Structure 1
């Protein structure tokens, strides 16, 4: 895992978003004092989880926020992000599959820090887990800041052990062990709690089992009662169904009888109408007979017959009216009886409604009292449970105090044994011989004096050699600069010559020139020179003639007339010009005056071409003076514009010959300069060779001095080692004596503390025992209240059930009354209809009786009395027929009346049976609804119902079962559920107890395994670090020795002590070393940790400040070697340290209080310089 980038925003002086790339393995951070370089180190430490403001050079954690500066306002948010390249997948855990890992910390003012990994919010511990065991962390050895060197040297042995654990990678083991110990303590506490709960549950289970038996018996009786009640309802439903079916059959039978009587009535009425028709026919026959005999007798007979008929009709109508009036009286009597019955049922309905309302009020009142009783019950139960819990907690606390007291007694016994062992060891301590130690110290002083002289000579040579090397480096820089300059000149000349040769050898002309052996011929521009500034003027005048080739004579061009060149080409006669020097005309200078021929052979042609060609300063002057030119003359300006008397030819650099003259002059100048540079370079190289020879001689002498000094150093080390052994023995004896005294004092203090703990536990046990008695008394009272509340709740439930049954009976009676009233209303309606029909018949007969008046007939009969004798026989015969008909008519009428009288009883019986059927149907529906409300299965009930068993027997069974339920007394209906819950909890706690015991054994085994692995890793790491420390210390110091010692016998809790003796010193403590020596010692130790467990990157903050140049070079060599495995990001003001950096990152503070970054890649800069050379 490699650090690739650091991002800061709002952190201390980095107020703006800042990106610090870390591309290489050696990155230096440079800048003036106070510019904010160390803030980069603080940022890395902060994002890795540092929580101490003191280690971040602040007073509070809010001090990392930019607090404003100058015109800048304070910010409310700071963030630092580290980007790591994890393409090799070396990061463990869930982040191993990410090729890039981002670790970020954000802090807002007045808020807590937030940590992110790959933009996922995590804990600070998750950040620490990523770098656990890698040497990275908020206070690990991979971040070495200002002042940390002195803290490492002056650290206590226990503090140094932290670095050793980090290097060994056992910090994660420590964390695992701490977590395991916490889990072990939690497991033991949970186990004690589980055991206490199990004991309490055993007691509860015994009580609940007894209650559960009663509850089972209660449920069994309730089930029998419910079944018997359902059977009773089923029996009553079946009886009501049977009654309803009988009523239906009776209704059908009476309906048949009613239909038969109605049919007889209709038949009788038909016969009656026939007889009436026959009666009228007989009367007509009588009148016809009398009319045929005697008119008078006929009339008399007719009148007599009419009188008789009227009388008979009156008699008949009177009889019918008497019968109808009897029926009317009977109907009104029945109507009055039915209305009386309806009033009685209405009164019963009102009483039933009042009773039902009263029952509903009673049910509501009982229902309102039930929550009060339940609340009282729950309060008593909660009070009892709370006291039971308090009693259990008191017992647990009492057991804990007893354990504390026993633990204190055990500790006191162990302290007594330990005190005895220490006093025996104190008596056996013996210091070494002091005289032998003084003698050895004298020998060591003599060796130190000789070594000091040798060291002075060595230091003088070592001082001279860096000076020579510095001079060599400076001369090398000069030589490199001269070589680069010469190389640049050579490259420029070669490039210019290449351009000139390319112009001389045009591609389209090259073949023709080669065929005519002109490819190596010189061109005109190679044989002439012109003053600077007039190159464009000459190019504009001569144009392609600049590439002209000189010939001995023009006759040489005769063969070319048949083989013309493929492009423009000029040849001229190479002859010396005999013309005079060019002369100015009219104040105009000729162009030829600025041209010089390097080859005189070109003079003739050049004279012809430049004849009458004059120069002007600029094109304005040319345009003004062109009119003054003689015929054939030209004016040309310095930028190439050509003027004649009548034209202007503007010049543009469109020819490939453009610049050929200026390039040619530059080639000549550069060639002269190159010769001078090469001569100077040869002189410098000779001087460097002489200086290198002198440096080699001095290095040889220095090696001899070093060998001699090493010999003295070895002797000095041997003597120093012997003295150190005796000193250490004396020191160990003294230290052990002090440790024993301190331990005895500690034992005395601890014994007092344990005795105080014992007394406190004893007092607490007494107080808890008193509290136990009080709680038990309170628990007994609460248990009594609970039993009373439970009994009251049961009574309230029974009262509510009784009120509900009473309300149900009242509701049934109210429904019965309503049904009876409906039946009476139907009967009244039938009677009223019948009475109305009778009254209609009476009115009809009274009307008929009013029309039967015989007075007129009697008068008429007296008048025709004389005629009667004449018509008697005919009349007697007609009357006999009529009388017989009337007799039959009367008998038929009597039969009709008899039939009508028989219909009313049948109708009344039908109404009565219908009422009974409706009552039976309502009863059946009521019991069916009760069975449905009880969710009873009628098929199963039918199978259970004993054959022949009546409702009375079932009601007796219900009474018996209620008596048995009442005999049970108060029943805890929740006992079965509570018993099952308690039993499940008991089983769960038994399983949990087993699991906790197994977990306890597993955790104890895990701690032993962690201790074993930690001890092995720590011992191996200590040995390796001690070996690396012993190797790196002489490398950085140029000699000397150093090692690590354990202060105790157990490596897991013993400290680490540093023993360091620089060359020529026999110091007994590292505190006697100088600042630079302490720095090198600390660096040796930290780099030794690095070699064992290289961190992904290391931060060094001016650790080279106390070192001189020699030690700085050694330090830099070591850092360069170690950068193969780790990145180094260092802050330094030392130029030697800066030179090893692959990249330099500059920190500036141009704006007061605001840091900015300027990055410089040294390797890229070197490449650019090499390419330029």
Structure 2
């Protein structure tokens, strides 16, 4: 695997697209300082996945894009492509099958970074995977930039170990171990979730067992309810049958009544039919009278129409007579004119006959001279035709040549048209949109990056949601704990309150106080507050006075002397002034009181006058010497120490402990309030956690949706990218085809042009021959024309005479025809005059016949008949109207009978519906009993034996339903759920065992990976150490160097370099000079190369700190290693330049823009030797 070429565009100072080949094993890059040599090294490191801008000598990744110069604008994108030869299939992953691999990276101004392998969008990780274990990478040992040599030798042991791992090729092992650890973590998480589910499932099993017991009770009650319900259905079915029989009888009675009423209706309908028949007869007679009247009216109309026809006929005949007289006058005038014109035509016919005879004689004379002239014309035409044949032959040759010329021109036009069409098609071919293709590749890379981001976010949420779930469960437990604590405090408080209430209500004094109306008064202890711990002391000091009742005046208690209280009881009235204690040195019990009432405070000061306090009995005994008569010291336990006595306290009444309990109740109330706040805070925290869990779950769903959408988007872009790539390929293929066809057409056009030139020369020759032949033919044509002219003149004169003779004959014939026409016109006029006379006679006869006397007499008779028939029609109409009225009244009576039938039918229908309802009800209950598979005989017997009644059954069913409702929510599927839960527990137990086994397997795999990595690192360390120990003396000319592990565990231990140049005993490499450090680092890198040679090595001014002697040794060593590794080095040293097989010069003639000048050294040497 070697580097074949580098393509740069817009990267740092390489503003223009730059492409240079690397054919040799030793390629040197030279040029002045600042011209951009190191940018080539940065470009290689950038393509291999470097993401840290500082490693590329920049502040941000945008700095790698050309930023413009004085004459150029900034570039919008940076692109670098490395082309590798992979003939040895050393590349990792799916790309090892390609003989050549092109790795490309593109960065735009908007921060979008895209990677490509063989023009396919990939991830950054995919690029790094290709070079895993090869020594190549953004920070691998095969790329040594400026200052890297000193950093390598001065690296921390942990950083130096990374070079050793890369040389050992354990990167893939580390990746496998990381993936295995992730799977192990997932397995542990799954195991934790399964265990949580098992714990929850065990809890659910207990609940399901209880629910199954309740379900059994429910089913027992349900069976009882079903029995009662079946009995209820049976009784209702029996009642429904009885009701059905009763309704059937009612339907029969109603049907009989309906039939009687129907008979009455039929009698009325018969009478109605008789009247209707008479009505029909009267209607017929009325219609007959109307017909007779219509006939009379029609006869009147006919006679009136006849009279009108006679009048109109006389008018028409008189008009015709007038017109006939006018026509007769016109025909007489035409006859007279024809006779006059006939006399004139006879004279004109005689003159025309005489002129025709003269012209015929002249024509015969000219006709005899024509044959001689015709022979002369034929002789001249024969000579002309012979010459015309010669002209036609030449013209035929010219036409053939012209046809060939037209064919050539047509072919030229066809080729031109085809060429234009093909050129147009080539011009219209879609120019491969490389920018769109690049954008698609970029979008596909971005889509894959987005998919990676979505997958990472999904993985993060997959880890976050279980953590939030665990936190939620922890918060729930905390809520439960705080709730239990709150319940405990509340219960204790309730118990103390109940005890206080019981002491107050169940004492001996309660009835007495109620009797005297004092039960509403509060005891003194409810108003007294003392510091914690002194309640017993105060009770011992006050005794029964602790429960004293306040009265307005003490004199009122005299009434109680006759009916003394059954137990000790005190009354008090608060004093108006306070009392002072005599001792100021001893602490007073009254000072421990916290009272807001001044009167109550004065009272207690009085009662506690001479009562002091001590923490314990010994302290009280020590202070008793200070006491005077009547004074006492009270301890916390209520023991009293006076000047000469000690009294131990013990509860001796029902009031004992009330003050302490009151104090404790107050404390508990405070604690309960605080606990309520704590519990509320815990619940609030739980709510927040649950909200966070819900939000994370929703975001997890969104992340899954985004991941799916990102995957779909990437797939769509990949399909579009393949489509566009195929389109570009097809366009390129078609363009090549069109270029070939256009070249062929150009060749054909050249051949046609040559043929066209030959035809033009032949055409000129024939054109000259045609001119000579046509000139001779023109002379002969003139002779023919002269002879033909003489002949034509003779013929013209002959035709003129013949035409004039014909005209004379025609005039004679025309006049004769006209004479005949005039004779026929005279005859026609005579015939028409006779016809008109006959028509006049006929019209006079018709006028005589047209008279209306008989029609007028008939009209009077018809009018009298019409009046008689109108009177008869009136009589018939009156009779018809009477029958119509009788028919209407009879029909109304029938309708009334018919309407009275409707309520009877409706009642029958209603009864039938009730019968049907009873039948359906009985059938429904019977169907329900049959559906429930109830034993009808057994039900009837049980009803008879138990004296069951319908009303009582409904009550029993309601009672059973109440008992079922009292059971609450019943899980009827509890038994099935219990079985399913047990089966699930069995499955989860098996899954738990599988997860434990998988976790053990993964741990074993990690252990195995660690063993393999440890062995590989150990052997690599030993080999590199051996090569380093041999390489160091080679570069230094002596000395000792080795690698030392800084720890016992090779997987975690760092690597430290120990080197001693010849004659030096330095204890650390930090004491070495810069040149010595550089040589030591070179020896270490080359030692690693001896173990795992990288495909190529980049050296950026590594020889800068070296002198000439060391440079020569360095160059010699590099030349030897170039047999297996390709070297691309940057140097200013002439000795180092000499070892290069190819020099690449970097110039910056234009400020800020780098350009490449490449020289093949072997070719240059060969050229120099040749010269």
Q: By the TM > 0.5 criterion, same fold?
A: no
With normalisation by structure 2, the TM-score equals: 0.41
With normalisation by structure 1, the TM-score equals: 0.41
